[in-house]
Amino acid sequence: MFKHRFKELIVWQRAMDVARTTYQLCMEFLVNERTGLTSQMRRSAISIPSNIAEGAGRGGNKEFAQFLRIANGSCNELHTQMILAADFGFINKEQLTSAEGQIEEVERLLYAFQQKIASQI
């Protein structure tokens, strides 16, 4: 068991990129959507790096692994919301493809990190 410095974790850094991208995309949504899908997307996006950071500060790797799983769930939630945003015409195909690439990278990093943490439990 060791304490992780969350800001040094590549997965946290990439998750922060996803959150920034999500906020930038949501700024382009119609005004009436800023309290609907936008709000949910922002919460999902923020949840990803927040759970990584919280897990890193917990007492052990078992707890950290649980927070990484929660972060992964938030990735799936955000991915679904991005697809809906594209379906509703709030973002274009290029924006969706770019956002999906970022989200999928974080999912891969989370999975690899979960495997690493699990081997240390």
**Whole-Å CA distances, 2 to 26, 84, 115:** 37, 39, 16
The answer to whether the Cα torsion of 113, 15, 70, 87 is positive or negative is negative
Residue 12: per-residue pLDDT: 97
Pick the closest to residue 1 from 49, 65, 51 (CA basis).
Answer: 65
Query: CA-to-CA distance for 44 and 98, rounded, in angstroms?
Result: 17
CATH class of 6-118: mainly alpha
Query: CA-to-CA distance for 52 and 88, rounded, in angstroms?
Result: 30
Note down pLDDT in tens along the chain; length 121 residues.
Answer: 446 789 999 999 999 999 999 999 998 887 766 668 999 999 999 999 999 999 999 878 899 999 999 999 999 999 999 999 999 999 999 999 999 999 999 999 999 999 998 888 7
